[in-house]
Structure 1
Amino acid sequence: MKVYVSADMEGVTGLVDAEDVQPGGRDYERGRVMMTEDVNAAVRGAFAGGASSVLVNDAHGPMRNLLPDQLDPRVTLIKGRPKPMGMIEGLTPGYDAVVCVGFHARAGVLGVLSHSFMGHEIEDIWLDDRVVGEIGLLQATAAAYGVPVAALTGDDSACAEMTEWDSSVTVVPVKFAKDRFAAQLVPVAEARAAIEAGVEAAVRTPRTTPTVSRSAHRLAVRWQNASVASHLPAIPGVTRTDDRTVLVEAPMPDLYRLFNLFLRVATAITSNPPYC
């Protein structure tokens, strides 16, 4: 059994503030250790549940947060950017399950460090007219590969968002949002044990393989910055529906790759940090 792990940082055990998750933040180096240990707990669970191999993709920010020398030696790590598929780089139809570690809720939801990909720049995203964030886009793209999401860890808002997209996914809350930069924390040892046990049970559970479809999906993105929206129609197939909203149609996973191109254009145009 091949397991794919996408590792974000905002939903990691004990982390609540930009200082915990942004390079240069006063607690970022400690945050990297916490992230690595949450991933290690998930990896232990995956192997205990029957995984024969585990690929981990560092999916947060600069995508070079995980500490390779402290990571479980049984895993293969993808680190750094840019990556054409961003948070799901390396995922293929050959995998049996996806595990999401350290995820957060979408923009507009009261969750710990909630945002959608670019905290200052993206106001909302819709997939087939349904509001979506990082969790929903990942789930839809994994399904297009025929790979089910088995487990997700993060705060209670992220867990609720995952359940809305797929109620069969095992969710492990490691903190409970009090506000965007405050949470009631699950004790570290308890959280790590829950991650390990939850992932083990999730990968052991037989799951229905999603039906692979090449039908087109609609993706609309509303930006805070009209300048971003004005540049994106230079990409074939992209149209602007108002000053700040762009629309494109394509099948998954092509649509996810195209959206990652949007992010690179937006990054080139803007220089805002990812949180308020």
Structure 2
Amino acid sequence: MRIYISVDMEGITGLVDAHDVQPGGRDYERGRRMMAQDVNAAVRGAVAAGATDLLVNDAHGPMRNILPEDLNPAVRLVRGKPKHMSMLEGLTPEHDAMVCVGYHARAGELGVLSHSFMGHEIEDIWLDGRPVGEIGLAHATAAAMGVPTVVLTGDDSACAEMTAWDPAVTTVPVKYARGRFAAELRPAGEVHAAIQEAVTAALSAPLPAPAAPAGPATLTVRWQSASVASTLPGIPGVTSTDSRTVQARGPLPDLYRQFVVWMRVAASLTDQPPYC
């Protein structure tokens, strides 16, 4: 059984603000160790369920947060950037299931470190008219490849977002949001046991057939900066709907890969730090 694990950082056990998740932050080194511990709990669960091939993608920020020596030796790690598929780099139709570790709620939701991909720079995203963030877009892209998402870990807001998107996905709340930079934390040992148990149970059951999108999808993004929205239509297939909103239509996962290019363009045009 081949399992893919995409791991973000904002939804990791014990982490609550930028000092925990940004390189140079006073608690970042602790945060990256906690990140590896959550991943290792998921890996133990997958191995117990019979997984023989595990690929972990470091999907947060600089994408070189996890120290390879901190990971279970059973896994291969995708580390660094740029990556053509960003948070889903390395995911293929040959994978039997995807597990999302440390994910967070989309922009505008009251969740720990909530945002959509680029801090303040992206205000809203819609997939076929449905509000979406990193959770829904990752789920839909994996489904288009024929890969079901079976477990997601994060704060209670992220878990609720996943359940609203697909109630068949098992969620593990590692903390309970008390604000964007505050949370009630579950004990780390309790969380790691819960993650391991959830992954083992999900992968031991018959894997669901993902509901892949029928035909092309429409991705719409509203940016904070009008300069981003005015530049992106230079890419074939991208159109403006107003001064700060662009959209494109195409099949997933190709549309996801194009969105990664949009973010690179936006990053070159802006210098907006996340979480401020």
TM-score tier, shorter chain, comes to over 0.9
Q: Give the whole-Å Cα distance in 1 for the aligned partners of 2:166 and 2:211.
A: 14
1:267 is matched with which residue? 267
Q: Give the whole-Å Cα distance in 1 for the aligned partners of 2:11 and 2:239.
A: 33
Matched, 1:232 2:232: yes
2:3 is matched with which residue? 3
2:66 is matched with which residue? 66
Q: Give the whole-Å Cα distance in 1 for the aligned partners of 2:167 and 2:212.
A: 19
Q: Give the whole-Å Cα distance in 1 for the aligned partners of 2:40 and 2:126.
A: 33
Question: Which residues in structure 2 correspond to 1:134-145 (within 5 Å)?
Answer: 134-145=134-145
> Deviations along 1:111-161, whole A, 9 cap, x unmatched?
000000011100000000000000000000000000000100000000000
1:167 is matched with which residue? 167
1:41 is matched with which residue? 41
Q: Give the whole-Å Cα distance in 1 for the aligned partners of 2:267 and 2:190.
A: 38
* TM-aligned CA deviation for residue 210 of structure 1: 2.1
Matched, 1:111 2:111: yes
Residue pair 1:15, 1:31 contacting (<8 A) in 2 also: yes
Aligned residues: 276
Residue pair 2:140, 2:213 contacting (<8 A) in 1 also: no
What SS does structure 2 have at the residue aligned with 1:124?
A: strand
* TM-aligned CA deviation for residue 207 of structure 1: 2.1
Query: Unpaired segments of 5 or more residues in structure 2?
Result: none
2:210 is matched with which residue? 210
What SS does structure 1 have at the residue aligned with 2:56?
A: strand
Q: Give the whole-Å Cα distance in 2 for the aligned partners of 1:212 and 1:18.
A: 35
| TM-score normalised to structure 2 length | 0.98
1:99 is matched with which residue? 99
* TM-aligned CA deviation for residue 212 of structure 1: 4.7
1:87 is matched with which residue? 87
Task: Name the CA shift for 1:180/1:211 in 2 (closer, same or farther; >3 Å).
Answer: closer
* TM-aligned CA deviation for residue 260 of structure 1: 0.5
> Deviations along 1:230-261, whole A, 9 cap, x unmatched?
11001000001111000100111001001001
2:251 is matched with which residue? 251
Residue pair 1:214, 1:252 contacting (<8 A) in 2 also: no
1:28 is matched with which residue? 28
| TM-score normalised to structure 1 length | 0.98
Residue pair 1:157, 1:177 contacting (<8 A) in 2 also: yes
**What residue identity is the alignment partner of 1:57?**
N
**What residue identity is the alignment partner of 2:166?**
D
What SS does structure 1 have at the residue aligned with 2:120?
A: coil
Residue pair 2:140, 2:212 contacting (<8 A) in 1 also: no
* TM-aligned CA deviation for residue 271 of structure 1: 1.2
**What residue identity is the alignment partner of 2:265?**
V
What SS does structure 2 have at the residue aligned with 1:120?
A: helix
What SS does structure 2 have at the residue aligned with 1:73?
A: coil
Q: Which moved more, 1:167-176 or 1:214-223?
A: 214-223
1:196 is matched with which residue? 196
* TM-aligned CA deviation for residue 213 of structure 1: 5.4
